[in-house]
Structure 1
Amino acid sequence: MNPCFPLLIRRLALICLSLTSIFQQSLAADGSGQPTIAALTVTTTLARLDDWPVAIPASGSLTAWQEAVIAAEIGGLRVVALTADVGDQVRRGDVLADLSQASVRADLELEQARVEQAQAALSEALANGERARNLAGRATLSGQESKQYLVAEETARANLAAAEAQLKGQRIRLDQTRIRAVDDGVIASRTVTLGSVVQAGTELFRLIRQNRIEWRAEVMAEQLARIRPGQAARIRLSEDVSLDGVVRLPAPTFDPTTRLALVYVDLPDPGAAHAGDFARGEIIVGQTPALTVPESTVVLRDGNRYVFEVSDDRRVIQRKIGTGRRAGNRIEIVAGLPTPAPLVESGGAFLNDGDSVRVVPADPLTMGRP
């Protein structure tokens, strides 16, 4: 006899035993004796209780917190230099533009000369006044002449004060030829061009003060009652870009046309936000417990949402549920799940009510992931 033949017999016996075990595991659990083929191999998960924020959805425009208009305080002068443009970050007092100073400097020199004349006249008047006081009551100087000298001294003082005031005014005009930023911020617009002659009060620049952008969210009356200053907010600029904000002030009045009220939300770090954008977001008004499951657990069919519960006999029970809030890859279940039970974690779209499934342990590398 071939010595390898017994070894082959033993191997065939082991294969038969394995096939018999697999066949027995596939028999129906109801005792009918008929084999049942598993529709799907699945992993299960349990719903868990989390503390989730309660959010009020809102939408609205992004606007500047405050704008500052930078205008010319002196007129009839030509713009000779521009040192700032739209988008520039500036500090309070920075020079944004220069106006021609030639005529202002000429007037300044004229006023300086007048001050010197008034100082000379005052020196003469002081000397005459001192002599009049020394000769008071003597026959060499009449009372009327003495009074005239004293009046002339006071007049000379007043003339010098007037000349100095006019000189100060010309110095202010000279300083006004340099257009400066009135606050820290970013230049939002520029309406002046090089070489143009500006008039007093003409707007030259517009500044977003301190580069602060706010979200003006629109909410309804019943929502406004739950909003308080200091509450957190999340603003979505796009699918990938979101910002954190803080409620600064709920508006005290409603728009009579739309019956909506504004909520002013500060954005401490505006990032990619720009004034004039439109954004959607939510205002966080509190936290409540939430029964949550992975989003992959929920199946959408015919406009309804379902989960598949795995029973003790490895058959699935289709349960219609109601859903609420979402956070990351989890979703809140608000109705339809009477008791905690194992749920099909993924692949429910391929199952029907009553299907038999094969349950395998979850991958330990993915367990506990949010």
Structure 2
Amino acid sequence: MGAIIVAAVIVVVLAWEVPDAHAQEAKTPVAGQASLTVVVGSLQPATFPIRVSANGNIMAWQEASIGTEANGLRLTDVKVNVGDTVRRGQQLATFAADTVEAELAQSRAAAAEADVALAEATANAERARLLQASGALSAQQIHQYLSAEHTARARLDAARAVEKTQRLRVAQTRIAAPDDGVISARSATVGAVLPAGQELFRLIRGGRLEWRAEVAATDLSRLKPGQKVRVTPNGGDAIEGRLRMLAPVIDIQTRNGMVYVDLPPSNTARAGMFARGEFEIGASEVMTLPQSAVQLREGFSYVMRVGPDSRVIQTKVAPGRRSGDRVQIISGLDKDDRVVVSGAAFLGDGDLVLVTDGPKKAARPAASPSASQRLTLTSSRGTQ
């Protein structure tokens, strides 16, 4: 009997509580709901490096053209290829030397014959000088002996000059590297008969590369030889170079000046590659925001400024330099303005937001008594 009474009491209590709850909800006015919970921030000072940006090409510091001086000789051997590293004096190619060596032997024989003739003429001239005072020889004969000596000496000099020329031709049949470096081009083909002056190889002297970039004339005054330069080739890692020289003239068409930057040895840089670079010329303190706070819309930069009523106002700003995840704000904001730094991409002008200074753990609400707990409570009350 007691259990029936307790059940009846519970039904009555629940019947009275539910209508009251619905009535309370009906009386509570519906407030505006926040679109998003956001993190806000403001302009913060930061030290940014002052850089001058430029574009240009990576080129060989100096490129040597290696050709043939021998005329009409056949190329018999090529010892190097493109990309090979060579040393000064290293043999690169060889021409057939049979004909030239034969001519050298002939010129040596001619020089030896001229040497013998000079010795005979010198002896005759010496006897003529000794007999000149005695009158045994006429003045004409003495003059002939002396002239023959001079002629023989001249012929010996000519024969020796021909011999030297032939030795040079023999040496020219062996093509050697004029300096240390890397072979950048090759046109030599075994079996080809080449004229004098034909290019066989091109050599990057010392394997040295440089970055040649165009810089606006207004920025040239801030650059000085010796400054560090960060050069980034397309598809490669950044390289730290050093400014070697500024061009003495400005291009009258582009109003740009050429700068030359020495580059260290690198596995990614190649002659002919395009590269971007930045010259570090100092540092300055600027006002910045996180990059996530600045949104690019319709070609302009905007931030979402939070007003006093927690509604966002789309505000146009002028961004400047960037460093890491910070961006300089030149104009458009005051120092005390609050700006959405997280979630700005999902907001529109006039949206209501719930502002937080950072991610926080939400407090867990107290658990309401369950139906079984209310039943136990009512039962205990009925027992009492």
- For normalisation by structure 2, the TM-score amounts to 0.72
Q: Find the residue that maps to 1:152 and give its secondary structure.
A: helix
Q: Percent identity?
A: 43
Q: Which residue of 1 aligns with 2:139?
A: 143
Q: Deviations over 1:78-131 (max 9, x none)?
A: 001101221222233222111111111111111111121122112222222222
- For normalisation by structure 1, the TM-score amounts to 0.74
Q: Which residue of 1 aligns with 2:261?
A: 266
Q: Which residue of 1 aligns with 2:208?
A: 212
Gaps of 5+ in 1: 1-31, 363-370
Q: Find the residue that maps to 1:252 and give its secondary structure.
A: strand
Structure 2 counterpart of 1:50, from 47, 50, 53 = 47
Q: CA 1:117–1:247 in structure 2 vs 1: closer, same or farther (change >3 Å)?
A: closer
Q: Would the aligned equivalents of 2:49 and 2:280 in 1 still touch at CA under 8 Å?
A: no
* Shift in Å, 1:196: 0.4
Q: CA 1:349–1:109 in structure 2 vs 1: closer, same or farther (change >3 Å)?
A: same
Amino acid in the other structure paired with 1:265: Y
Amino acid in the other structure paired with 2:320: G
Q: Write the distance in 2 (CA, Å) between the matches of 1:215 and 1:349.
A: 40
Q: Find the residue that maps to 1:93 and give its secondary structure.
A: coil
Q: Which residue of 1 aligns with 2:93?
A: 97
Q: Which residue of 2 aligns with 1:335?
A: 331
Q: Find the residue that maps to 2:342 and give its secondary structure.
A: coil
Q: Would the aligned equivalents of 2:303 and 2:316 in 1 still touch at CA under 8 Å?
A: yes
Q: Write the distance in 1 (CA, Å) between the matches of 2:229 and 2:146.
A: 75
Q: Deviations over 1:8-64 (max 9, x none)?
A: xxxxxxxxxxxxxxxxxxxxxxxx9x8987943748686232042132x43333333
User: Do residues 281 (structure 1) and 251 (structure 2) align?
Assistant: no
Q: Write the distance in 1 (CA, Å) between the matches of 2:81 and 2:146.
A: 59
User: Do residues 86 (structure 1) and 82 (structure 2) align?
Assistant: yes
Q: Would the aligned equivalents of 1:54 and 1:288 in 2 still touch at CA under 8 Å?
A: no
Amino acid in the other structure paired with 1:58: A
Q: Would the aligned equivalents of 1:62 and 1:215 in 2 still touch at CA under 8 Å?
A: yes
Q: Write the distance in 2 (CA, Å) between the matches of 1:122 and 1:134.
A: 18
Q: Which residue of 1 aligns with 2:380?
A: none
* Shift in Å, 1:320: 4.3
Amino acid in the other structure paired with 1:356: L
Structure 1 counterpart of 2:353, from 338, 352, 355 = 355
Amino acid in the other structure paired with 1:72: T
* Shift in Å, 1:336: 3.0
RMSD across aligned positions (CA): 3.5
User: Do residues 121 (structure 1) and 117 (structure 2) align?
Assistant: yes
Q: Would the aligned equivalents of 2:86 and 2:181 in 1 still touch at CA under 8 Å?
A: yes
Q: Would the aligned equivalents of 1:71 and 1:202 in 2 still touch at CA under 8 Å?
A: yes
Q: Write the distance in 1 (CA, Å) between the matches of 2:164 and 2:236.
A: 57
Q: Would the aligned equivalents of 2:320 and 2:328 in 1 still touch at CA under 8 Å?
A: yes
Q: Write the distance in 2 (CA, Å) between the matches of 1:329 and 1:226.
A: 27
Amino acid in the other structure paired with 1:254: D
Q: Write the distance in 2 (CA, Å) between the matches of 1:54 and 1:298.
A: 22
Q: Would the aligned equivalents of 2:33 and 2:352 in 1 still touch at CA under 8 Å?
A: no
Q: CA 1:36–1:76 in structure 2 vs 1: closer, same or farther (change >3 Å)?
A: closer
Gaps of 5+ in 2: 1-28, 361-384
Q: Would the aligned equivalents of 1:308 and 1:318 in 2 still touch at CA under 8 Å?
A: yes
Q: Name which of structure 1's ranges 244-253 and 73-82 shifts more when overlaid on structure 2.
A: 244-253
Q: Write the distance in 1 (CA, Å) between the matches of 2:121 and 2:138.
A: 17
Q: Name which of structure 1's ranges 264-273 and 67-76 shifts more when overlaid on structure 2.
A: 264-273
Q: Would the aligned equivalents of 1:75 and 1:200 in 2 still touch at CA under 8 Å?
A: yes
Q: Write the distance in 2 (CA, Å) between the matches of 1:261 and 1:42.
A: 45
Q: Write the distance in 1 (CA, Å) between the matches of 2:112 and 2:237.
A: 66
Q: Name which of structure 1's ranges 187-196 and 286-295 shifts more when overlaid on structure 2.
A: 286-295
Amino acid in the other structure paired with 1:268: L
Amino acid in the other structure paired with 1:357: V
Q: Which residue of 2 aligns with 1:69?
A: 65
Q: Write the distance in 1 (CA, Å) between the matches of 2:33 and 2:269.
A: 59
Q: Deviations over 1:312-334 (max 9, x none)?
A: 99997765432111123322221
Q: Would the aligned equivalents of 1:227 and 1:250 in 2 still touch at CA under 8 Å?
A: no
Q: Deviations over 1:168-206 (max 9, x none)?
A: 111111111111222332222211200101111111122
Q: Find the residue that maps to 2:151 and give its secondary structure.
A: helix
Q: Write the distance in 2 (CA, Å) between the matches of 1:297 and 1:316.
A: 13
Q: Write the distance in 2 (CA, Å) between the matches of 1:240 and 1:45.
A: 37
Q: Find the residue that maps to 2:144 and give its secondary structure.
A: helix
Amino acid in the other structure paired with 1:131: R
Q: Would the aligned equivalents of 1:61 and 1:216 in 2 still touch at CA under 8 Å?
A: yes
Amino acid in the other structure paired with 2:54: A
Structure 2 counterpart of 1:178, from 174, 177, 192 = 174
Q: Write the distance in 1 (CA, Å) between the matches of 2:296 and 2:251.
A: 39
